[in-house]
Structure 1
Amino acid sequence: MKMKNQFYLSDIQSLFDDVQRAKIFEDQKTMTDAIPLYSTSVINGKYDQEKHKEGFDLKSFVLSHFDFIKKEVSIQRKDMLPIEEHIEKLWDELTHTASEEKGTLLKLPKPYIVPGGRFNEFFYWDSYFVMLGLQVSGRVQMMENIVENCSYLIQTFGFVPNASRTHFLSRSQPPYFSLMLELLAETTNDEKIFSRYYDTLEKEYHFWMDGEEGLENGSATKRVVKTKEGDILNRYYDSENIPRPESYLIDIHDYENSDGEEFYRNIRAACESGWDFSSRWFADGETIQKIETLHIAEVDLNSLLWHLEKTLAHVSELKGHSEKQRYYQQKAEQRKSAIDHYFWDERTGIYRDFHLQKQTQTKSRHIATLYPLFLGIASKEQARAVSEIIEKEFLYPGGLVTTTKQSGQQWDLPNAWAPYQWLGYNGLKKYGFVQLADTIKTNWCSNIERVYHNTGKLMEKYNALDTETNAGGGEYPNQDGFGWTNGVYLKLQKS
């Protein structure tokens, strides 16, 4: 869906391709965030006229035809405020507005919190973990803003895009909207919030389940798969199979050494998961060229959709829609059974993803095993088994790592990310493993405080193994800001 005045990078495809291949900006995201100063037809016309002229300078042309707005950092890091005061100031610094489309940036009705660093737009699943900190800070209005923005995006596009830019309109991120409503209802003590967004919840559910009807056993379409046994599961997906604009040249180079016709879609589907990237997605467990996200049904996604189904059943009951209540309750029960059947590995005591072609669980051992505990799906016995694996294989001096494999990708060992510290703490405490939960909290928060003391920054990710070393890996440098780190740190400190 293209709305009036929206700017798509495909509108300047030839120029964009040349800019990215020429590497005129250190970060390829810079060009995706550019704001055209003239109509795309004028820019394209001038480019066609001038690019072959002697002395033509591509960077000068781009700088004279696009605006590159970068918000100045207002906090003096040298002040070294106490960390909680620093975060309170960061909330204001990270607050953005987009009352109209500017370049690729989508308009949103309310102010919002951006992650920080190179990420200067609204991100979907980040915003839930930001809300945890906003709750502690008493910033209820901003929590409501986030929910309103998500609802606007779902009502406008049918889903919440990965982030609020036009080139992200082909994919979403882990569906946290129902959890956002739950958090907001808890904060405001207002159950009516669920009913207010009932239509939005249904709309998002239809996005994830689109194509379910008519699926044959052992087949898949978009984000829905039907196993050979006839059960419905979900996978991450992307409607486009082209290089990501924000990582254009990286994707093109990786594609040259890949052997899959849907390499780009596999890359993009991994981005929808939020885990970009991890050995979790690689057929050989080693190289991104062997990525096969489309062949995998994920325990985290299916657990989140179970929560959405349970929420829809609950709200249907509140609204007196008995038929819908039975429908969603049945869907939730079927999914819970499927989660046990396809993702639970009795032998090793961990939840794994399911490989749809091989009809077996994947080899990757990863921290998304926490989702059934966080959401209350696991049995006491399953939770105990997971807790033992977490303590033995995932817990380090700096927090919980994401996988047990060191691949050089940012969502692998040795990195620790804020969302999974909260999922681990909350999920394990829910099942009575209080001491382990508190150790996770202590280890990660101490890591945060150490890095802040040394650098004056709150980072996107942290090294959990070597707490004297900053986290690395991935396609771009570690970013500071940082929305979900701020939120989870505050929430853990008050828990």
Structure 2
Amino acid sequence: MKHTCNILKLYFLLVLPFTLTQLPAQAQQFYRPEKDLGELFEQVQLQRVFPDSKTFPDCVPLSDPKQIQQAYQQQKGKPDFNLELFVLQHFKLPASPDTTFATNYSYSVAQHIERLWPVLTRQPGANGGSLITLPHAYVVPGGRFREIYYWDSFFTMLGLQASGETELIQQMVDNFTYLINTVGHIPNGNRTYYLSRSQPPFYALMLRILAQQKGREVLLKYAPALKKEYAFWMEGASNLSEANPTHRRVVLLPDGSILNRYYDDNPAPRPESYLEDVEMAKHSGRNPEAIYLDIRAAAESGWDFSTRWFADGKNISTIQTTKLIPVDLNALLYHMELTLQEMAVLEGNKQEARQYEKLAKARRDAMLTYNWNDEQDFFYDYNFVTKATTNIPTLAAVYPLYFHMVKRKPAKAVAQKIIAEFIKPGGVVTTLNQSGQQWDAPNGWAPLQWMTIQALRNYGYTDKAATIATNWVQLNNDVYLATGKLMEKYNVTDLALEAGGGEYPNQDGFGWTNGVLLKLLLENPALLKLTEKGAVLQEK
């Protein structure tokens, strides 16, 4: 119990001064379509007025939402009432993606990405509706994703760094800092319907990129914001007990350790996937609020959806995200704690630096206790209800290697499994389960290629890291030469097939694919030369 008291005391000292129990007043005044439109919002979504459930939440009301709602109540019962026509009369549809940009095959894929940055960049200013106005320019992923996304942006920044776009990186970091200071955390994206959840906490890694460009001292400027983000993830940690071992994103474990889970504060259908969530809850046979929380928590993870979250490893109806301690999330928070330690050192605050160092060490030890499976020599998500690892192998296992958290022996075991089972002709596959979910086999995603490549490099597996990089670059380039586009995700197992799964068609653009690909190309002259030859052949 002494260990528990010490850890809780640290959280009380470091986190409590920054804790927010609800959204600030400014955030509470935002337009929230799912709340402000009431029955109208529900009917538009349930009747599928638009093929994509994200369209209506992104529409801009042309007058006061209360007046629109009153007009709907007055007109809905009339025999000639047309819901779609009513929506078109009272709302401005979201802007379509830029259609003036044309791929020029005389450019290599690296040059193509350089030409895309301005196309995917949005300038500050409001377009109204659910979009949260940001003070600086930012890069969007592309396609239906018309806003900035949290964890996407780190991988986009890798490409911006390769392009020398330091000021745009600065602007994006400052936007995320603005969100922390305005709404208390970095939401999933700058939409009001994303305010109840975040995404994998990559803000500290973004600061590392900025520090690489502008010097380590730049970290000092962002220390207050990173402390606030840490407080968001650790909110309630100092009040945990054996009787109440969970609160929002924190979980107290039997030995007194505290680890984190993904969560969401709103047990309701996601506005941007409203009909899909209602139908999923209906067919699951479960308490709707419970399944909505698990769905939303998986959305916070960025892996929406994957069998890593499913109790039976097969069906989404068994989703149990809120019962799991994810490997990747806790590795990211370990890095956040070490970044806070470094900031304290720069500030000359030795006591605070020691406190964050203790928290990071405690987290690492807890992950080795709970997330590491000795029998299988691999990192898994941990189910704190069943008190066992899920034993569903995923690329989340590379995160502890990415952050140098483990010694050679466990790193070797993880690396060997990745090399033996996850490497495919197009890169690394996300999981080993072919379920139809987009974050499962046979799909590969740019962020996980980068994390895996770096993780293997960290422990000397440079040849295998190079194999993954080469396979991924070749696949990206081949698809670009065939279609003129870069995709959100790829089928890395059967290179003749497109990636599939998910709640929407595969999107092109695409922010994090562009970022990771350009970073890999510009750090490897041989791969860059290979793609340049491909462009010349295509032109001929």
The two structures share one fold, judged by TM-score above 0.5? yes
Correspondence list, 1:66-465, <5 A: 66-68=91-93, 69-77=95-103, 79=105, 81-100=107-126, 102-188=128-214, 190-217=215-242, 219-258=245-284, 259-260=286-287, 261-465=289-493
Shifted more, 80-89 versus 480-489: the winner is 80-89
**Matched residues in 1 for 2:467 and 2:489: separation?**
19
**Matched residues in 1 for 2:434 and 2:105: separation?**
36
Q: Give aligned-pair identity as a percent.
A: 45
User: Alignment partner of 1:145: what SS?
Assistant: helix
Q: Can you list the C-alpha shifts for 1:100-130, whole angstroms capped at 9, x where unaligned?
A: 3610000111010000110000100000000
What's the CA shift for 1:454? 1.0
Q: Can you list the C-alpha shifts for 1:28-58, whole angstroms capped at 9, x where unaligned?
A: 1000100000001110111111111121111
For the pair 1:18 / 2:43, whether they are aligned, the reply is yes
Could you tell me which residue of structure 2 aligns to residue 63 of structure 1? 88
User: Alignment partner of 2:444: what SS?
Assistant: strand
User: Alignment partner of 1:262: what SS?
Assistant: helix
Could you tell me which residue of structure 2 aligns to residue 7 of structure 1? 31
**Matched residues in 2 for 1:75 and 1:445: separation?**
23
Structure 2 unmatched runs, 5+: 1-22, 524-540
**Could you say if the C-alpha distance between residues 437 and 79 of structure 1 is closer, same or farther in structure 2, counting changes exceeding 3 Å?**
closer
Q: Letter of the aligned partner of 1:388 in structure 2?
A: Q
What's the CA shift for 1:72? 2.5
Could you tell me which residue of structure 2 aligns to residue 36 of structure 1? 61
**Matched residues in 2 for 1:283 and 1:54: separation?**
47
Q: Can you list the C-alpha shifts for 1:258-314, whole angstroms capped at 9, x where unaligned?
A: 224411010000000000000000011111111000000011000000000001011
**Matched residues in 1 for 2:427 and 2:172: separation?**
28
What's the CA shift for 1:98? 3.8
**Matched residues in 2 for 1:78 and 1:21: separation?**
41
8 Å CA contact 1:98–1:106 kept in 2: the answer is no
**Matched residues in 2 for 1:116 and 1:454: separation?**
19
User: Alignment partner of 1:471: what SS?
Assistant: coil
Q: Letter of the aligned partner of 2:55 in structure 1?
A: T
Q: TM-score, normalised by structure 1?
A: 0.98
Shifted more, 168-177 versus 79-88: the winner is 79-88
**Matched residues in 2 for 1:183 and 1:78: separation?**
31
8 Å CA contact 2:110–2:521 kept in 1: the answer is no
**Matched residues in 2 for 1:195 and 1:223: separation?**
27
Runs of 4+, deviation exceeding 6 Å: none
Q: Letter of the aligned partner of 2:457 in structure 1?
A: K
User: Alignment partner of 2:490: what SS?
Assistant: strand
What's the CA shift for 1:228? 1.6
User: Alignment partner of 1:475: what SS?
Assistant: coil
8 Å CA contact 1:419–1:484 kept in 2: the answer is yes
**Matched residues in 2 for 1:404 and 1:144: separation?**
38
Shifted more, 97-106 versus 356-365: the winner is 97-106
User: Alignment partner of 2:98: what SS?
Assistant: coil
User: Alignment partner of 1:225: what SS?
Assistant: strand
Higher relative contact order (CA 8 A, sep 6+): 2
Q: Can you list the C-alpha shifts for 1:205-255, whole angstroms capped at 9, x where unaligned?
A: 000000001211372110000012211000000000000011100000010
Correspondence list, 1:468-479, <5 A: 468-479=496-507
What's the CA shift for 1:168? 0.4
**Matched residues in 2 for 1:61 and 1:479: separation?**
29
8 Å CA contact 2:430–2:444 kept in 1: the answer is yes
8 Å CA contact 1:73–1:93 kept in 2: the answer is no
**Matched residues in 1 for 2:327 and 2:199: separation?**
14
User: Alignment partner of 2:38: what SS?
Assistant: helix
8 Å CA contact 1:373–1:427 kept in 2: the answer is yes
Q: Can you list the C-alpha shifts for 1:135-168, whole angstroms capped at 9, x where unaligned?
A: 0111111110111011000111111000000010
User: Alignment partner of 1:3: what SS?
Assistant: helix
**Matched residues in 2 for 1:422 and 1:79: separation?**
26
User: Alignment partner of 2:238: what SS?
Assistant: coil
8 Å CA contact 2:26–2:182 kept in 1: the answer is no
8 Å CA contact 2:105–2:481 kept in 1: the answer is no
What's the CA shift for 1:187? 2.1
The Cα RMSD (Å) is 1.2
User: Alignment partner of 1:238: what SS?
Assistant: coil
